[in-house]
Amino acid sequence: MTYLRNCWYLVGWVKELDEVGWFARTIAEVPLLIMRTVEGGVSALLDRCPHRFAPLSCGKITDGQITCGYHAITFAADGRCLDNPHGAAISALTVPSFAAAVGHTGIWVWIGEQALADPATIPPLDLITRTPASAGLHGYEQIAANYQLCTDNILDLSHADSLHPTSLGGGATTRAQFTVKEHPDRIELNWFAPSDVAPPALDALLPEPNNPADVYLRAIWYAPSVMAVTLGGYPAGHRERGNPETWGIHVMTPSDAGKTHYFYWAGRNCLVEDADLTAMVAVMLQAAFAGEDKPMLEAQQSRVGSTDFNALGPALLRTDEGSVRVRRRLSKLIAAEAACAEREPA
Amino acid sequence: MTYLRNCWYLVGWVKELDEVGWFARTIAEVPLLIMRTVEGGVSALLDRCPHRFAPLSCGKITDGQITCGYHAITFAADGRCLDNPHGAAISALTVPSFAAAVGHTGIWVWIGEQALADPATIPPLDLITRTPASAGLHGYEQIAANYQLCTDNILDLSHADSLHPTSLGGGATTRAQFTVKEHPDRIELNWFAPSDVAPPALDALLPEPNNPADVYLRAIWYAPSVMAVTLGGYPAGHRERGNPETWGIHVMTPSDAGKTHYFYWAGRNCLVEDADLTAMVAVMLQAAFAGEDKPMLEAQQSRVGSTDFNALGPALLRTDEGSVRVRRRLSKLIAAEAACAEREPA
Amino acid sequence: MTYLRNCWYLVGWVKELDEVGWFARTIAEVPLLIMRTVEGGVSALLDRCPHRFAPLSCGKITDGQITCGYHAITFAADGRCLDNPHGAAISALTVPSFAAAVGHTGIWVWIGEQALADPATIPPLDLITRTPASAGLHGYEQIAANYQLCTDNILDLSHADSLHPTSLGGGATTRAQFTVKEHPDRIELNWFAPSDVAPPALDALLPEPNNPADVYLRAIWYAPSVMAVTLGGYPAGHRERGNPETWGIHVMTPSDAGKTHYFYWAGRNCLVEDADLTAMVAVMLQAAFAGEDKPMLEAQQSRVGSTDFNALGPALLRTDEGSVRVRRRLSKLIAAEAACAEREPA
Ligand code: FES
Ligand code: FES
Ligand code: FES
């Protein structure tokens, strides 16, 4: 399928790289090898030897170099051939490389036109680094569903009331006032439920749990599939009595048309030193995302199949406005990119 | 592939529904949710929420209602929206439903033009309900082969002589006189083997086992893939000395081009109170159908692949006359339906 | 995909047949049943009953006859119908057969125009039978990669230096002088490494292991994918002091576009009575072929996918000359055959 190419895709968390030094992951049908450079930077190479196409990730990767396992040609982390035991290090022996940047504890890769890759356009998820490490958690799941179904899931957070009733739901989002606002660089969704029941994960942080709260929820979408969610609340009408907020970053990176890398991060603005609480939240979120969202999204995918979602004629509700606008915006971006590519063929 | 649509498909046995209250099954590529209505009737809905296409069978199903597991919209067993927590129960929130009828201990669904669904046209398998429950047994197998290969299997019952020699075969069918007769609503096959060896399953019921018997066998096909088989016999030339009959209903409901739901029922006219005998026959038939037919049909499918059966040029024998006529009749019915659909587009 | 058809394909080793009397194997997408004839010869039939296409290999195979498991029609090993219990043994009931010949301890089948099948054109692998049985070993692996990738593997033996460093590699092949020579019936590759380190498998056979040796290596390719490899050496500059040679036959028979039957044989000209050594070599080769080549070839296939190899633009090196010439030659042979088939339609 056709993906947006001139954009940053989150390809993994920095801590994944730190654990093993490199990893291989397919993004928008492009197999990538992500590794550390000798200078400690990060590089992204096509995970395919230019010689005879063995995956570089089947070779030996050390000290910012890769030696292909098939015929022992060695490449630098930037793709240049360092050593060809069978002749000269001709320029054809260069591994295609992609701009890679570290930002917000993640590794971002630009698979489109390389000259356009500007790290300043990585979605602004500064929240992640502004949160003390003890209050933040990182997660990753693979989902056998199209990334747009995964994005839709976060764009209608009322689903938490039915799918995650004991953790993130409870009913307030379904009852909330809901608005969608388009900005040039993002689409913002807001829910506000005055004097309602806070979702369990928020309620536990309120000064007086089990009491009416003014609950607010915000989801901001950045192209193609990055979302920042804020869930906050306070004793009904009394913001001054304490205003805990929890934050969730949800990034749905397409692997192929039917598979998605789901990266998530969660943090909060209170009890930030309580690493035990963070560990409990991590377990709760994994149960929700891997145990509740993933099976539902995969079942939904099985019913949609390879048909275009809108061609099936979904019964769109007010709660789908975020998804409708995001899908429309993304389609336009992809179409514009395709039109552009046609005018200037490679 | 193209299926006959204006016909009744057996989708399950009533007893399957009674055990669990509902089940999901795909018929002719249409995913169905079969459930009880509050009035105790049976309904068949498209197993796909009209909102965003989650399978309804992933939701909560109780008291003749389904609450979708994704966003908690509730539907009645007839598909109407009963409750939409996110707004009005607009008519777009209606689950497509299909005529469903109970007949002959089975549940039949009509996936074609709903106005044409008339339970009076369910194939006449009254034998099932006329047989005491103690003498009848129900079975179900999934077969990874096209339903027409499964129908062919029953349309040439001489296969039992080679594939089921210790239970349903023995040689008499191969030696029998064989005739095929077309009727407007069915195709009837008859085999008669005078003074021959009765198949083991029949022989055990004869007044004098292990003696020459006049053996008769009849298979009646109803479109698209329902078959009623009678196997009977009596001491050679002496019908008055006892005439046991065993009956088999074989229904091959297509799931998709390469998968078939095989429903079967078996009964008899003698020793009808002997439930132990019935249990023994059930074991024998399962061994034959699951252990002998299924692997053969799946192996045959692997050789046919997605090629049209006739295009491969089978060497047709006299014994294939039933299959040839049935395939020809069914092709005509499907072609007529397609022509009709073209004239009156939906 | 399109395969060369007018050529001999190795379909199995004679010893495989001797162990079980028959086997089924798919060659170039043609499912074959290989069996002994009553005269002790070998026959190759299409593994598909002409009646209704059950695999013959699902039937009963004894005494040079096959009785189909579905409706008990019996065929001779040459494909003629011997018995049809349902009528006459009409000529339509003939199983397509293919020329089969035993040669070099293998069974070779010709799936193309049968009139052209001449056993004299089986590639000259006489080495196999000239080697005492105690010094020869036979192997077989299935590889989930296109057969041409498997052929390429042997056509650049320098891969052993990186992929099999402890057995077949060591570095000499990479450093060797390398020449490729085309002949009308074969393509010959030669490597010569004067005063170098012999690969471990050869070094052990040299009069003075661990000393500089003149190492030579030859690979001869016969269409479509048969290769004979010789690895020999002697104390540097002193051929008269002993000249052990090891031989490898590598036959890559396509099963389908993404699967290959890899048959191999290995022998040597010294210590030929030492069956224990042969057994050790068998273990070493299986470790190399199944444990090192197979995963690499399958990983390479995963990156190539269904795209044409050359269309991906490999960076061709001097060491790829064998592969380039072989692929070019084979393409021409296949194109010529296709052109010929067009002129004389069947
Ligand atoms: S395929 Fe990588 S070195 Fe040859
Ligand atoms: S998909 Fe069923 S309620 Fe939304
Ligand atoms: S399919 Fe082989 S005998 Fe009928």
**Mean pLDDT for each consecutive 10-residue tract of chain A (346 residues)?**
97 95 97 96 98 98 96 98 96 97 98 97 97 98 98 96 89 95 98 96 94 97 98 96 96 98 97 97 96 98 96 96 98 93 66
Task: Give the C-alpha separation, B334 to B346, whole Å.
Answer: 17
**Is residue A202 classed as helix, strand or coil in its secondary structure?**
helix
Q: Any chain A CB within 8 A of the CB of B48?
A: yes
Ligand 2 atom with the shortest distance to the CA of A159: 4
| Test site for ligand 3: of C45, C48, C49, most ligand atoms within 8 A of the Cβ | C49
Residue C98 CB coordination number (10 Å) = 21
Which of A95, A49, A90 shows the shortest CA–CA distance to A72?
A49
Read off the pLDDT of residues A207-246 as tens digits, 9 standing for 90 and up: 999 999 999 999 999 999 999 999 999 999 999 998 999 9
Token output for B42: 């049976």
CA distance A75 to chain C (A): 14
Q: Where is the domain boundary, A89, A121, A153?
A: A121
Contact A55 C315 (CB under 8 A): no
Q: Which residues of A touch C156 (CB under 8 A)?
A: 71
Task: Give the C-alpha separation, C103 to C226, whole Å.
Answer: 13
* pLDDT for the residue numbered A345: 54
For residue B32, CA distances in Å to B37, B93, B119, C25, C300 come to 15, 17, 19, 40, 42
The range of the structural domain enclosing residue B29 comes to: 8-121
E-strand ranges in A236-298 read 245-256, 259-268
Q: Any chain C CB within 8 A of the CB of B156?
A: yes
* pLDDT for the residue numbered B36: 95
Q: Name which of B53, B74, B91, B94 to mutate to probe chain A: the one with the most chain A Cβ atoms within 10 A of its Cβ.
A: B53
Q: Which residues of C touch B314 (CB under 8 A)?
A: 50-53
Contact A296 B53 (CB under 8 A): no
CA distance C146 to chain A (A): 14
**Do C42 and C165 share a structural domain?**
no
Task: Give the C-alpha separation, B326 to A208, whole Å.
Answer: 74
- What is the strand order of the sheet C30-36 is part of? C8-13, C106-110, C97-103, C42-46, C30-36, C22-27
Q: Any chain A CB within 8 A of the CB of B331?
A: no
Per-residue pLDDT of chain B (346 residues; tens, 9 = 90+): 999 999 999 999 999 999 889 999 999 999 999 999 999 999 999 999 999 999 999 999 999 999 999 999 999 999 999 999 999 999 999 999 999 999 999 999 999 999 999 999 999 999 999 999 999 999 999 999 999 999 999 999 999 999 998 888 889 999 999 999 999 999 999 999 999 999 999 999 999 999 999 999 999 999 999 999 999 999 999 999 989 999 999 999 999 999 999 999 999 999 999 999 999 999 999 999 999 999 999 999 999 999 999 999 999 999 999 999 999 999 999 999 988 877 765 5
Angle subtended at Cα C215 by Cα C214 and Cα C220, rounded to the nearest 5 degrees: 140
Q: Which helix (H) or strand (E) holds A151?
A: helix A147-155
C53 closest CB neighbour out of B156, B163, B304: B304
DSSP structure class, residue B131: S
How far apart are the CA of B57 and the centre of ligand 2, in A?
12
Task: Give the C-alpha separation, A178 to A168, whole Å.
Answer: 17
CA distance B275 to chain A (A): 41
CA distance A174 to chain B (A): 6
Q: Any chain B CB within 8 A of the CB of C261?
A: no
The torsion angles phi and psi of C200, rounded to 5 degrees, stand at -45, -45
Q: Locate tokens 């805990």: which residue?
A: A244
Q: How much of chain C, in percent, has pLDDT values that exceed 70?
A: 99
Ligand 2 atom with the shortest distance to the CA of B59: 2
Is residue C51 within 8 Å of residue B296, measured between CB atoms? Answer: no
B344 occurs within a structural domain = no
| Test site for ligand 2: of B48, B51, B56, most ligand atoms within 8 A of the Cβ | B51
Task: Give the C-alpha separation, B57 to B26, whole Å.
Answer: 12
Amino acid at A148: Q
Task: Give the C-alpha separation, C213 to C204, whole Å.
Answer: 12
Q: Any chain B CB within 8 A of the CB of C55?
A: yes
Is residue C246 within 8 Å of residue C280, measured between CB atoms? Answer: no
* pLDDT for the residue numbered A95: 98
Task: Give the C-alpha separation, C18 to C15, whole Å.
Answer: 5
Q: Any chain B CB within 8 A of the CB of C194?
A: no
A52 closest CB neighbour out of C162, C302, C314: C314
| Domain total in chain A | 2
A79 occurs within a structural domain = yes
Task: Give the C-alpha separation, B26 to B38, whole Å.
Answer: 23
**Do B140 and B17 share a structural domain?**
no
* pLDDT for the residue numbered B167: 85
Ligand 2 atom with the shortest distance to the CA of B56: 2
How far apart are the CA of A51 and the centre of ligand 1, in A?
5
Q: Which residue puts its alpha carbon closest to atom 3 of ligand 1?
A: A71
Q: Any chain B CB within 8 A of the CB of C60?
A: no
B280 occurs within a structural domain = yes
DSSP structure class, residue A291: I
pLDDT at position C346 over 60: no
How far apart are the CA of C59 and the centre of ligand 3, in A?
9
Q: How many CB pairs under 8 A join A and C?
A: 63
Q: Which residue puts its alpha carbon closest to atom 1 of ligand 1?
A: A52
E-strand ranges in B14-145 read 22-27, 30-36, 42-46, 60-62, 65-67, 74-76, 81-83, 97-103, 106-110, 137-143
How far apart are the CA of B47 and the centre of ligand 2, in A?
12
**C81 alpha carbon, closest ligand:** 3
**Do A112 and A133 share a structural domain?**
no
> In chain B, whose CA is at the least distance from the CA of C89?
B317
Task: Give the C-alpha separation, A169 to A175, whole Å.
Answer: 11
C318 closest CB neighbour out of A58, A70, A86: A86
- The domain that holds B117 is classified in CATH as 2.102.10.10
The torsion angles phi and psi of B225, rounded to 5 degrees, stand at -165, 50
Task: Give the C-alpha separation, B177 to B161, whole Å.
Answer: 15
Banded pLDDT at C212 (limits 50, 70, 90) = very high
**Is residue B108 classed as helix, strand or coil in its secondary structure?**
strand
Ligand 1 atom with the shortest distance to the CA of C159: 4
**Do C170 and C72 share a structural domain?**
no
- CB proximity under 8 Å: C 77-136 to B: 84-87, 90, 92-93
Task: Give the C-alpha separation, B312 to B290, whole Å.
Answer: 27
How far apart are the CA of B48 and the centre of ligand 2, in A?
9
**Do C132 and C117 share a structural domain?**
no
Q: Any chain A CB within 8 A of the CB of B305?
A: no
* pLDDT for the residue numbered A20: 87
Angle subtended at Cα B155 by Cα C71 and Cα B292, rounded to the nearest 5 degrees: 50
Q: Any chain C CB within 8 A of the CB of B243?
A: no
Is residue C244 within 8 Å of residue C269, measured between CB atoms? Answer: yes
- The domain that holds B298 is classified in CATH as 3.90.380.10
* pLDDT for the residue numbered B340: 83
Token output for A319: 């709660």
**Do C229 and C110 share a structural domain?**
no
**Is residue C27 classed as helix, strand or coil in its secondary structure?**
strand
Angle subtended at Cα B162 by Cα B159 and Cα B166, rounded to the nearest 5 degrees: 110
B142 occurs within a structural domain = yes
**Do C191 and C252 share a structural domain?**
yes
C151 occurs within a structural domain = yes
Amino acid at B240: E
Q: Where is the domain boundary, C77, C96, C121?
A: C121
How far apart are the CA of C302 and the centre of ligand 1, in A?
14
**Do C182 and C68 share a structural domain?**
no
**Do C238 and C139 share a structural domain?**
yes
Token output for B50: 């009209």
B3 occurs within a structural domain = no
A4 pairs with which residues across the strands? none
**Do A109 and A58 share a structural domain?**
yes
Amino acid at B90: I
Q: Where is the domain boundary, C121, C154, C184?
A: C121
Which of A177, A169, A244, A154 shows the shortest CA–CA distance to A199?
A169
Is residue C208 within 8 Å of residue C244, measured between CB atoms? Answer: no
CA distance A263 to chain C (A): 25
**Do A281 and A193 share a structural domain?**
yes
* pLDDT for the residue numbered A338: 87
Q: Name which of C47, C68, C71 to mutate to probe chain B: the one with the most chain B Cβ atoms within 10 A of its Cβ.
A: C71
Which of C239, C240, C224 shows the shortest CA–CA distance to C334?
C224
Residue B54 CA from chain centroid, whole number: 28
Q: Which residues of C touch A85 (CB under 8 A)?
A: 158, 161, 174
Tell me the ipTM for this assembly: 0.92
* pLDDT for the residue numbered C165: 87
Contact C318 A52 (CB under 8 A): no
**Do C282 and C190 share a structural domain?**
yes
**Is residue B306 classed as helix, strand or coil in its secondary structure?**
coil
Burial class (CB in 10 A: 0-12, 13-18, 19+), C15: exposed
DSSP B265-305: EEEESSSTT-HHHHHHHHHHHHHHIIIIIHHHHHHHHHHHT
Ligand 1 atom with the shortest distance to the CA of A49: 2
The sign of the torsion formed by the CA atoms of C34, C38, C42, C45 equals negative
Task: Give the C-alpha separation, A309 to A152, whole Å.
Answer: 11
A59 occurs within a structural domain = yes
Contact B300 C71 (CB under 8 A): no
Q: Any chain C CB within 8 A of the CB of A50?
A: yes
> In chain B, whose CA is at the least distance from the CA of A324?
B52
C199 occurs within a structural domain = yes
pLDDT at position C131 over 90: yes
Q: Any chain A CB within 8 A of the CB of C319?
A: yes
